[in-house]
Structure 1
Amino acid sequence: MKKSIIAGIVAIAIMFSAAAQNEPEADTPQFEVKVITSIESIVPLGLGRSRLISTDSTRDYTEFSSEQTEVDNTRNRTKRKDIRVKDFEETKLLNFFNAGGIRFQNIAANDAVISSKLTAMLAEGWELIFVTSAVESDAGESDNQGIFITRYIFKRGMVNNHAP
C-alpha cells in the first residue's frame, strides 16, 4: 500500500510538472499584434498610387537593432534586403483626386474596401486597439506629391504562445 501511495504522489507530481512546462511564463505577452496600413494618394490628377497593405510575415526587431552607447556608437549595419518583406497582401484603393479635383466617390469606395478588411480582421478574432494617421500634403505647383496614411493596429490573444 505504501508503494502505491508513493507511486500516486510521483504520478501527480509528474502531471503538475508537465502542466507547468506547458503554461506560459507570467511575464510573457499572451497576444500578438498586427498592423494594417492604408496609403491613399493625394497627388493631383489622380496620378498617385493608393493601396491597403497587410502581411502575415513576421520580423524580430532585435535582429535589426543596435544599441548606441557612449563607449560603442557603431552604426547599425543591417542590410535593407534582410528587413524587406516580399510576401504581403496589396489591395488596390482609389486616389483621392482626379482631373476635376477631390473625388468623393473614390473616398466612399475606399471606405467600403477598408471597412471590409477591418470586418474580416474582427471576424478572425483580432481586436482593433489603435488607429493613427498622418498626411504629407501637396505643397503647391512645384511639389505635386502627397499621401494620406493610416495604420490600424490590432491585437489577438494567443494560445500557448502560438496564434489560434
Structure 2
Amino acid sequence: MKKSILFIALILAGLNTSFAQDKYEYQLVTVVESIVPNGLGRSRMITTNDKRNYKDFTSTRSEENNDRNKSDRGDIRVKGFDETKLLNFFNIGGIRFQNIAANDAIVTSKINTMASEGWELAFVNSGVEGYAGKGDKNGIYITRYTFRRKI
C-alpha cells in the first residue's frame, strides 16, 4: 500500500512540474551589416543595457480618442548600450568574404558568451534594405537575435 501511495505521489509531482509555466526574460542583439559599395558604410552589433517599459510610450487610439502619441523621443532613446564594431561586406574591390567570416566569428563569440551566461537563442529574424529608389546602391542587412533565459 505504501509503495502504491509513493508511486501515485511521484506521478502527481511529475505532472505538476510538467504543467508549470516557465517564465523568461528576453534580450535582443541586433547586427547591422553594411552593404554599401567601396566599404563606406558602418557595421555594428548592438545590445542594450538600459530598460524601457513600452507602456510608457504607448497610447490607445479609437474613434472617440484619435489623439496621436506624443511621447518625447528623448525619453525613448537609450544611452546605455554595447556597440561592437563589425566589418562591412564590401570594400573597394567588391564583396569581401574575409569580412563576412570575421563578422561571423564575432557574432558567434557573442552567442557563445550569452549561452555561457544562461541565455538560450530563441529566435532569429533578418531583413535587407537594398534599394530605396532610383540610383540608390546603398543598403543594410539586419539580423535580430532574440535570447531568453528562465527567471
Q: What TM-score results when the alignment is normalised by the length of structure 2?
A: 0.83
Q: Evaluate the alpha carbon distance shift between residue 76 and residue 62 of structure 1 in structure 2; reply closer, same or farther with a 3 A threshold.
A: same
Q: Deviations over 1:83-127 (max 9, x none)?
A: 000010000000000011100000000000000001001111001
Structure 2 Cα separation of the partners of residues 70 and 117 of structure 1 = 46
Structure 1 residue 57, shift from structure 2 partner: 1.1
Residue 155 (structure 1) aligns with: 148
SS of the residue aligned with 1:111?
A: helix
Residue 59 (structure 2) aligns with: 66
AA of the residue aligned to 2:66: N
Q: What TM-score results when the alignment is normalised by the length of structure 1?
A: 0.76
Residue 81 (structure 2) aligns with: 88
Gaps of 5+ in 1: 1-25, 159-164
Residue 46 (structure 2) aligns with: 53
AA of the residue aligned to 1:41: S
SS of the residue aligned with 1:57?
A: coil
2:105 aligned with 1:105:
no
SS of the residue aligned with 1:51?
A: strand
AA of the residue aligned to 1:51: R
- Structure ID, larger Rg: 1
Structure 1 residue 141, shift from structure 2 partner: 7.5
Structure 2 Cα separation of the partners of residues 64 and 109 of structure 1 = 38
Residue 118 (structure 2) aligns with: 125
Structure 2 Cα separation of the partners of residues 51 and 141 of structure 1 = 27
Pick from 98, 122, 138: which aligns with 1:145? 138
Residue 8 (structure 1) aligns with: none
AA of the residue aligned to 1:154: F
Residue 37 (structure 2) aligns with: 44
Aligned length: 132
AA of the residue aligned to 2:135: S
Q: Percent identity?
A: 58
Gaps of 5+ in 2: 1-19
